[in-house]
Chains A and B, each alone.
Chain A
Amino acid sequence: GNSVTQMEGPVTLSEEAFLTINCTYTATGYPSLFWYVQYPGEGLQLLLKATKADDKGSNKGFEATYRKETTSFHLEKGSVQVSDSAVYFCALSDRETSGSRLTFGEGTQLTVNP
Protein backbone atom coordinates (compact mmCIF):
# COMPACT_ATOMS: atom_id res chain seq x y z
CA GLY A 1 0.00 0.00 0.00
CA ASN A 2 0.88 3.66 -0.03
CA SER A 3 2.74 5.27 2.85
CA VAL A 4 4.57 8.47 3.71
CA THR A 5 7.38 8.79 6.22
CA GLN A 6 8.48 12.15 7.55
CA MET A 7 11.41 13.20 9.60
CA GLU A 8 10.55 13.22 13.25
CA GLY A 9 10.08 16.49 15.03
CA PRO A 10 9.89 18.75 16.69
CA VAL A 11 12.31 20.96 14.81
CA THR A 12 13.45 24.19 16.42
CA LEU A 13 15.38 26.79 14.43
CA SER A 14 16.47 30.36 14.78
CA GLU A 15 15.12 32.96 12.39
CA GLU A 16 16.92 33.00 9.02
CA ALA A 17 18.21 29.46 9.44
CA PHE A 18 18.01 26.89 6.65
CA LEU A 19 15.20 24.37 6.88
CA THR A 20 15.00 20.81 5.61
CA ILE A 21 12.19 18.42 6.47
CA ASN A 22 12.71 14.99 4.98
CA CYS A 23 9.91 13.02 3.39
CA THR A 24 10.02 9.65 1.68
CA TYR A 25 7.19 7.68 0.24
CA THR A 26 6.08 4.25 -0.90
CA ALA A 27 3.51 3.94 -3.65
CA THR A 28 2.48 1.27 -6.09
CA GLY A 29 1.50 3.68 -8.84
CA TYR A 30 2.65 7.12 -9.92
CA PRO A 31 1.66 9.44 -7.11
CA SER A 32 1.33 13.16 -6.86
CA LEU A 33 3.16 14.62 -3.88
CA PHE A 34 2.17 17.46 -1.59
CA TRP A 35 3.26 19.51 1.37
CA TYR A 36 0.55 20.92 3.60
CA VAL A 37 0.94 23.35 6.48
CA GLN A 38 -1.24 23.54 9.57
CA TYR A 39 -1.16 26.57 11.80
CA PRO A 40 -2.35 26.20 15.41
CA GLY A 41 -6.06 25.52 15.69
CA GLU A 42 -6.61 25.57 11.95
CA GLY A 43 -7.14 23.13 9.10
CA LEU A 44 -4.59 22.32 6.44
CA GLN A 45 -3.41 24.61 3.68
CA LEU A 46 -1.71 23.39 0.57
CA LEU A 47 1.86 24.70 0.52
CA LEU A 48 3.14 23.16 -2.69
CA LYS A 49 2.81 20.12 -4.90
CA ALA A 50 4.48 18.14 -7.66
CA THR A 51 2.72 15.73 -9.95
CA LYS A 52 5.53 13.92 -11.72
CA ALA A 53 9.16 12.97 -11.34
CA ASP A 54 11.69 15.83 -11.32
CA ASP A 55 8.96 18.44 -10.87
CA LYS A 56 9.76 21.12 -8.34
CA GLY A 57 6.98 22.65 -6.30
CA SER A 58 7.57 26.05 -4.75
CA ASN A 59 5.63 28.60 -2.75
CA LYS A 60 6.45 31.31 -0.20
CA GLY A 61 10.14 30.50 -0.35
CA PHE A 62 9.58 26.78 0.26
CA GLU A 63 10.67 24.23 -2.32
CA ALA A 64 10.47 20.48 -2.80
CA THR A 65 11.59 18.33 -5.71
CA TYR A 66 9.92 15.05 -6.67
CA ARG A 67 12.75 12.50 -6.74
CA LYS A 68 11.56 9.19 -8.09
CA GLU A 69 14.94 7.51 -7.82
CA THR A 70 15.08 8.11 -4.08
CA THR A 71 11.29 8.20 -3.57
CA SER A 72 11.67 11.48 -1.74
CA PHE A 73 10.07 14.92 -1.59
CA HIS A 74 12.09 16.86 0.96
CA LEU A 75 10.89 20.33 1.94
CA GLU A 76 13.44 23.15 2.06
CA LYS A 77 13.53 26.84 2.79
CA GLY A 78 16.63 28.98 2.72
CA SER A 79 15.69 31.41 5.48
CA VAL A 80 12.85 30.67 7.87
CA GLN A 81 10.78 33.25 9.68
CA VAL A 82 8.93 33.15 12.98
CA SER A 83 5.68 33.09 11.02
CA ASP A 84 6.70 29.74 9.50
CA SER A 85 6.15 28.06 12.86
CA ALA A 86 3.53 25.38 12.17
CA VAL A 87 3.09 21.66 11.57
CA TYR A 88 4.11 20.46 8.11
CA PHE A 89 2.60 17.37 6.51
CA CYS A 90 3.92 15.50 3.52
CA ALA A 91 1.24 13.65 1.58
CA LEU A 92 0.66 11.66 -1.56
CA SER A 93 -2.23 10.75 -3.74
CA ASP A 94 -2.27 7.93 -6.19
CA ARG A 95 -5.29 8.24 -8.42
CA GLU A 96 -4.77 4.82 -9.95
CA THR A 97 -4.96 2.94 -6.69
CA SER A 98 -6.77 5.24 -4.29
CA GLY A 99 -8.59 7.87 -6.28
CA SER A 100 -8.44 11.32 -4.70
CA ARG A 101 -7.56 10.08 -1.23
CA LEU A 102 -4.54 11.56 0.44
CA THR A 103 -2.09 9.56 2.52
CA PHE A 104 -0.38 11.75 5.10
CA GLY A 105 2.91 11.53 6.90
CA GLU A 106 3.06 11.94 10.63
CA GLY A 107 3.64 15.68 10.52
CA THR A 108 6.65 17.68 11.66
CA GLN A 109 6.30 20.48 14.17
CA LEU A 110 8.50 23.47 13.29
CA THR A 111 9.20 26.23 15.78
CA VAL A 112 11.19 29.27 14.66
CA ASN A 113 12.58 31.48 17.39
CA PRO A 114 13.37 35.17 16.86
Chain B
Amino acid sequence: GAVVSQHPSWVICKSGTSVKIECRSLDFQATTMFWYRQFPKQSLMLMATSNEGSKATYEQGVEKDKFLINHASLTLSTLTVTSAHPEDSSFYICSATGSTEGDSPLHFGNGTRLTVT
Protein backbone atom coordinates (compact mmCIF):
# COMPACT_ATOMS: atom_id res chain seq x y z
CA GLY B 1 0.00 0.00 0.00
CA ALA B 2 0.89 3.65 -0.18
CA VAL B 3 3.56 4.74 2.26
CA VAL B 4 4.57 8.09 3.62
CA SER B 5 8.01 8.36 5.18
CA GLN B 6 8.72 11.11 7.67
CA HIS B 7 12.22 11.98 8.83
CA PRO B 8 13.62 12.37 11.38
CA SER B 9 11.45 10.46 13.82
CA TRP B 10 12.77 12.53 16.66
CA VAL B 11 15.05 15.53 17.03
CA ILE B 12 16.43 17.57 19.89
CA CYS B 13 17.68 21.06 19.16
CA LYS B 14 18.78 24.13 21.02
CA SER B 15 16.63 27.20 21.29
CA GLY B 16 17.21 29.59 18.40
CA THR B 17 18.22 26.98 15.85
CA SER B 18 16.15 25.77 12.90
CA VAL B 19 14.95 22.25 12.26
CA LYS B 20 13.82 20.70 8.99
CA ILE B 21 11.38 17.81 8.84
CA GLU B 22 10.92 15.85 5.63
CA CYS B 23 7.83 14.06 4.41
CA ARG B 24 8.13 11.76 1.42
CA SER B 25 5.57 9.74 -0.48
CA LEU B 26 7.36 6.54 -1.42
CA ASP B 27 5.15 4.95 -4.05
CA PHE B 28 2.68 7.56 -5.17
CA GLN B 29 2.65 11.17 -6.27
CA ALA B 30 1.45 13.39 -3.50
CA THR B 31 -0.26 16.39 -5.00
CA THR B 32 -1.34 17.62 -1.59
CA MET B 33 0.36 17.30 1.76
CA PHE B 34 -0.90 18.33 5.16
CA TRP B 35 1.11 19.21 8.23
CA TYR B 36 -0.34 18.63 11.68
CA ARG B 37 0.81 19.37 15.16
CA GLN B 38 -0.18 17.26 18.12
CA PHE B 39 0.17 18.28 21.74
CA PRO B 40 0.36 15.62 24.45
CA LYS B 41 -2.95 13.79 24.88
CA GLN B 42 -4.65 16.08 22.41
CA SER B 43 -5.98 15.84 18.91
CA LEU B 44 -4.22 16.82 15.73
CA MET B 45 -4.23 20.46 14.79
CA LEU B 46 -3.92 21.21 11.09
CA MET B 47 -1.14 23.73 10.53
CA ALA B 48 -1.05 24.07 6.77
CA THR B 49 -1.91 22.51 3.44
CA SER B 50 0.66 22.41 0.68
CA ASN B 51 0.14 21.70 -2.98
CA GLU B 52 3.05 20.79 -5.19
CA GLY B 53 4.56 23.82 -6.84
CA SER B 54 2.53 26.44 -5.01
CA LYS B 55 2.62 28.28 -1.72
CA ALA B 56 1.25 26.57 1.34
CA THR B 57 -2.07 27.62 2.84
CA TYR B 58 -1.73 28.18 6.55
CA GLU B 59 -4.46 27.82 9.14
CA GLN B 60 -5.44 30.78 11.21
CA GLY B 61 -3.02 31.42 14.03
CA VAL B 62 -0.11 29.55 12.45
CA GLU B 63 2.90 31.76 11.76
CA LYS B 64 4.01 31.21 8.18
CA ASP B 65 7.40 32.80 8.80
CA LYS B 66 8.06 30.46 11.66
CA PHE B 67 6.84 27.27 10.05
CA LEU B 68 8.19 27.27 6.52
CA ILE B 69 6.66 24.70 4.22
CA ASN B 70 8.08 23.74 0.86
CA HIS B 71 6.46 21.26 -1.50
CA ALA B 72 8.91 21.33 -4.35
CA SER B 73 8.13 17.97 -5.90
CA LEU B 74 5.33 15.44 -6.07
CA THR B 75 7.09 13.22 -3.56
CA LEU B 76 8.58 15.61 -1.03
CA SER B 77 7.37 18.29 1.33
CA THR B 78 9.43 19.86 4.09
CA LEU B 79 8.51 21.73 7.24
CA THR B 80 11.19 23.98 8.71
CA VAL B 81 10.72 25.26 12.23
CA THR B 82 12.78 28.45 12.27
CA SER B 83 14.35 29.92 15.38
CA ALA B 84 12.81 27.17 17.47
CA HIS B 85 11.77 27.82 21.05
CA PRO B 86 10.74 25.41 23.82
CA GLU B 87 7.07 26.11 23.14
CA ASP B 88 7.56 24.66 19.65
CA SER B 89 8.27 21.28 21.21
CA SER B 90 5.59 18.97 19.91
CA PHE B 91 4.78 15.98 17.74
CA TYR B 92 4.55 16.94 14.06
CA ILE B 93 2.78 14.65 11.60
CA CYS B 94 2.47 14.89 7.84
CA SER B 95 -0.19 13.39 5.64
CA ALA B 96 -0.35 13.05 1.88
CA THR B 97 -2.89 12.40 -0.81
CA GLY B 98 -2.37 11.60 -4.46
CA SER B 99 -4.12 12.77 -7.57
CA THR B 100 -5.56 9.35 -8.32
CA GLU B 101 -7.34 9.07 -5.04
CA GLY B 102 -10.91 10.20 -4.94
CA ASP B 103 -11.05 10.55 -1.21
CA SER B 104 -9.37 12.17 1.71
CA PRO B 105 -5.73 11.66 2.65
CA LEU B 106 -5.30 8.16 3.90
CA HIS B 107 -1.53 8.11 4.30
CA PHE B 108 0.20 9.48 7.35
CA GLY B 109 3.83 9.64 8.27
CA ASN B 110 4.93 8.24 11.61
CA GLY B 111 5.51 11.69 13.01
CA THR B 112 8.48 13.65 14.30
CA ARG B 113 8.99 14.35 17.99
CA LEU B 114 10.65 17.76 18.30
CA THR B 115 12.17 18.78 21.61
CA VAL B 116 13.64 22.26 21.91
CA THR B 117 15.93 22.81 24.88
Is B43 touching A105 in the complex (CB atoms < 8 A)? yes
- What residues make up the interface of B, taking CB atoms closer than 8 Å to A? 6, 32, 34, 41-44, 46, 49, 93, 95, 97, 103-106, 108-111, 113
Shortest distance between the CB of B112 and any CB in chain A (Å): 9
How far is it, in angstroms, between the C-alpha of A45 and the C-alpha of B113 when the chains are bound?
17
B residues within 8 A CB of A93? 103-104
> Scoring A residues 81 to 114 as 1 if CB is less than 8 Å from chain B, else 0, what string do you get?
0000000010001010001111011110100000
Given A101-B34, A102-B105, is A41 in contact with B43 using a C-beta cutoff of 8 Å? no
Tell me how many residue pairs across A and B have CB atoms closer than 8 Å. 55
B residues within 8 A CB of A34? 104
Closest B residue to A94 by beta carbon equals B104
A residues within 8 A CB of B32? 99-100
How far is it, in angstroms, between the C-alpha of A109 and the C-alpha of B49 when the chains are bound?
27
The yes or no answer to A20 lying at the interface (CB within 8 A) is: no
The yes or no answer to A61 lying at the interface (CB within 8 A) is: no
The yes or no answer to A22 lying at the interface (CB within 8 A) is: no
How far is it, in angstroms, between the C-alpha of A105 and the C-alpha of B43 when the chains are bound?
7
Q: Which 9 pairs show the lowest CB-CB distances between chains A and B? A: A93-B104, A43-B110, A43-B108, A44-B108, A43-B111, A104-B43, A106-B43, A100-B104, A104-B44
